[in-house]
Each structure stands twice: as structure tokens, then as C-alpha cells.
Amino acid sequence: MGHTLAEKILLAHTDADEVRPGDVVMVRCDVVMANDVSGPVAFRALERMGVRKVFDPGRVVMVADHFAPAKDARSAELQQRLKRWSEEQGVTFYDQGRGGIEHTLLCEEGWIVPGSVVAGGDSHTCTYGALGAFGTGLGSTDIAACLALGEFWQAVPSTIGVEFRGEKQPFVTGKDLILAVIGRIGVGGATNAVLEFVGEGARALSIDERLAVANMAVEAGAETGLFPPDEMVSDYLRDRDSRVPRTVPDDLASDEDAAFAQTLEIDLETLPPLVALPHLPGNVVPIAEAIGTKIDQVYIGNCSNGTMTDLRQTAQILKGRAIHPDCRAIVVPATQRIYREAMREGLLDVFVEAGASVSTPTCGACFGGHMGVLAAGERAVTTTNRNFRGRMGSPEAEVYLANAYVAAAAAVAGEIVHPGEVAP
């Protein structure tokens, strides 16, 4: 019997001769990443392990993004510790103003190559599946072990095949594709599994949209969400210097006789823009069922949807229009590079002129940290990935997840509307 894409990647990173779902093996990582929240907790564990040096400084990346720019003295201290530790260990450190939100950043900086294994101290490390890498989120003690040994233990996941059929409709983006999947299988539907995205609808997605899809694989419980690497990924990587060697063939894909735990099909011809209602990313409805919901704040950004593609979609809606007087809008370009590109294209001017706040790259309000936290009774439409109770501040606030068109249109209307009604 053949192997799935995930099994092939794991086989290339373990001493085991064979891997089948459920086997627990040690997996070598090509890159280990942590941030200002998970890093310092990992350093404590590393100390308790008695380990003084990381396994390979060339494969370790630290990013200050969660509470950056520092929310308070305590957050500043965490970032200071991250920086000092990185200097001591000789590993790459992206400070505020020099990087951005970790997952978008690591892709654009060339840390992620197809067929690699990336261990990240953040659950959205699954984003790297967009480039065909087995990126997976781990806790801080796991990260400490990765820093020490360059390995983590892993139960080999089964694979759920997701086929996107046909062509997506206007105002439908990668966000809607993954919301459709989570709505179908539920927030625990891919536990102990990876999602593998195939079909013409998957291949047609830009890298930015693939990032949005893979990013939310964990919202279905998946270990990662893989797109088989293709020409588009090769083109994307051609523009940047890879930081780690590519060790597997470019055309890596599941064997035809590989065993899938489940397959599902999503018909893009009939898929409308979707909205995930509070308080679970799996509470997904067609936008028609959310129309008229009054909105206090719109947040466009985060590791799933803070790319140039999202900012262009936002500008398409906001250009020449104003944010509704009862609504606030925050736009967060995911990285410094995207920030500059948006500036050069004139997008930031469109946002500011419409009455939106444009923020420096940060994870900030997405997780209720700072820079746009919600009050009790407030409702937000966001392009982020989680709408758990209290996620963005008060437990009495509500978060609706949607794509950038829908979020921007809600900012203009002050309520959820079909974006086609705002910008025909």
C-alpha cells in the first residue's frame, strides 16, 4: 500500500523504516520556531533539561509578534528575554519593525520549503502546509525538546482528503473554502489527522489563499493542512533565498493507492461567502443567514488573512467609501514587507482615508492581547481564525469570522452585508 503526502514527509524525517497512522515516532525538524509567548516558557524548560546549546542555531527562529510592540513592562521583558536568548544562542531573531507575524514572515523569508518539517510554538504553524511543509503546532516543552534534540515525538496522523471542485464565485476567497471544511467536519473532525487539499479548486488558489486555508486546519483539530507542492510553490520560492535545503523531490504527492481515512468534496460553483458565528469556528453559515447583524469593530489581519491579497480585497471595498460612523475598523498588514508593499500601492492611504486604523504588524487583538480588544456586548467581524468566547477581550463580546471582502463591507455598512451590495 502506498503512502500519503504526510506519511512521505514523516518517513523522510524519522529513523523508522515504515510509518502507519497511530505509530509514534521521533521526527526530525528542519526549522524550530517560537515567539514572545511560547519562547520564554520553552527556555525555562530547556534550563530544567540542563541543555545549554540548541541543536543547530541555523535552524532556529524566534519572532516577537504576540505582544509586540510591547503592551506593558512585563511584555517588554519577555521580548527582551527572547532577544537576549537569541543572541546568546546565535539564532535568527525577528524583532518588531524587522519582521511581522511569524507564519506569514517565515514563508516570505524563505524558511519554509516543500517536504520539510517545521515545529512551531504556536498552533497556527499548520500554515506552512500551504507550501507543502509539515508545519505543526507544539507546546513550549515540546519546543524545548526540539531546541535540544532537533526532534519531537509524533503520532503518525491519518489523512483526510479534501477536494475543491470547480471554480470559486465572486467575493469568495480561501477563507470561505476552509470555513466550509470546518463547518462540514466540525472543530474536532480532523483530530489525529492531517487535511490534504486537492482538486482544481485547490490548485487554482494563490499562495496567499493557500496560506489562509492551511492556517485554519488546526481549527478542525488537524495536525497540519497540506497542499501538494506544485509549480506555483516553486515560482514563489524562486523569488527568495531558501534558508534550509530542500531534501525531497518537488513533485511530492500522495500515492494513488494511499489509504485516506475520509474524503470530502466541496463544490465551489455553489459556495457563497461564509461566516462563522460565535463562539466556535465550526458554527459556519452562508452569509445570507448573518445579514443585518450590527457590528462595532472590524479587524482585518492576522496569520491567516493579513496578506497583500487580503489588503487588496479590503481596498477594493473601502476605496472611495467611509467606515460606518458606529463602527471601527483596524487593518493589520501581516509583515513589514507587506506593510511597505501596501504603502507603495496606495492601499494604506485608502484605509486611512476611509477612517480605518492601520496598525504595525502584530498578533495583537486577534488573541485579546492588545491593540483592539473588545468590550462586553460588542460584536466584531474579523478575518482571524478563532471566535472562541472571550477570544478578543470580554467574554460577553462576539466574534464573527469572515473573509476580507465581507469584513470590509461590514465596516462600511455597520452590519453584515453581502460585499456585492457595497461594491458592485
Partner 1 sequence: MIVEGTALVIPGDDVDTDVMYPGAYLNVDDPEEMKHYLFDGYDPSLRDHLGPDAVVVTGWNFGLGSSREHVVQALRAWGVPALVGRSFARIFRRNCVNLGLAIFEAPEAAEAASPGSRMRIDTDAGEILVDGKSFATPPVAALVAELQAVGGLVPWVEERTR
Q: How far apart are the C-alpha atoms of 414 and 294, rounded to whole Å?
A: 6
Cell of 126: 499548520
Please tell me whether residue 389 adopts helix, strand or coil conformation. Answer: coil
Greatest Cα-to-Cα distance within the chain, rounded to the nearest angstrom: 63
The C-alpha cell that represents 39 in the structure block = 519562547
Please return the burial class of 241, using the count of CB atoms within 10 Å of its CB with bins 0-12, 13-18 and 19+: exposed
- In 10 A of CB 291, how many CB atoms? 14
67 makes contact with partner 1 (CB under 8 A):
yes
Residue 262 binds to partner 1 (criterion: CB under 8 A): no
Closer to partner 1 by Cβ: residue 2 or 395: 395
At 368 the three-state DSSP class reads coil
Rounded to whole angstroms, how far apart are CA atoms 309 and 208? 6
Least distance between partner 1 and beta carbon 65 (Å): 12
Q: Which is nearer to partner 1, 103 or 168 (CB)?
A: 103
Binding of partner 1 by 89 (CB under 8 A): no
The reply to whether 108 sits near partner 1 by the rule CB under 8 A is: no
Q: Which of 57, 58, 249, 390 binds partner 1 (CB under 8 A)?
A: 390
Binding residues with partner 1: total (CB under 8 A): 56
- The torsion angles phi and psi of 94, rounded to 5 degrees, stand at -105, 110
* Amino acid at residue number 390: G
- Which of residues 232, 253, 285, 373 is near partner 1 by CB under 8 A? 373
Per DSSP, 168 falls in state: P
The mark string for 41-60 relative to partner 1 (x by CB under 8 A, - otherwise) is: x--xx--xxxx---------
What is the per-residue burial (b if ≥16 Cβ within 10 Å, else e) of 37-73?
bbbbbbbebbeeeeeeebbeeebbbbbbbbbbbbbee
Q: According to CB under 8 A, which one of 57, 98, 155, 249 is a site residue for partner 1?
A: 155
Determine the Cα–Cα distance for residues 21 and 240; give it in Å rounded to an integer. 35
Stretch that binds partner 1, among 235-243, 246-254, 325-333, 361-369 (CB under 8 A): 361-369
Q: Rule CB under 8 A: is residue 247 a binding residue for partner 1?
A: no
Task: For partner 1, give the closer residue by CB, 324 or 386.
Answer: 386
String marking each residue 124-153 x if it binds partner 1 according to CB under 8 A: -------------xxxxxx-xx--xx---x
- 415 lies in the site for partner 1, by CB under 8 A: no
Residues sharing a CB contact under 8 Å with residue 185, sequence separation 6 or more, in sequence order: 160, 220, 264
The answer to whether residue 371 forms part of the interface with partner 1 (CB under 8 A) is no
Is residue 377 close enough to count as binding partner 1 by CB under 8 A? Answer: no
Q: What's the CA angle centered on 377, arms 374 and 382, to 5 degrees?
A: 45
d(CA 214, CA 126): 6
Min dist CB 74 to partner 1, Å, is 5
3-state secondary structure string across 74-115? HHHHHHHHHHHHHHHHCCEEECCCCCECHHHHHHHCCCCCCC
- Judged by CB under 8 A, does residue 375 bind partner 1? no
Residues 9-38 interacting with partner 1 (rule: CB under 8 A) = 22-26, 37-38
Q: How far is the CB of 205 from partner 1 (least distance, A)?
A: 25
User: CB of residue 152 vs partner 1: minimum separation in angstroms?
Assistant: 9
> What is the binding site for partner 1 (CB under 8 A)?
22-26, 37-38, 40-41, 44-45, 48-51, 66-67, 71-72, 74-75, 78, 121-123, 137-142, 144-145, 148-149, 153, 155, 187-188, 191-192, 218, 221, 223, 280, 367-369, 373, 386, 388-391, 393, 395
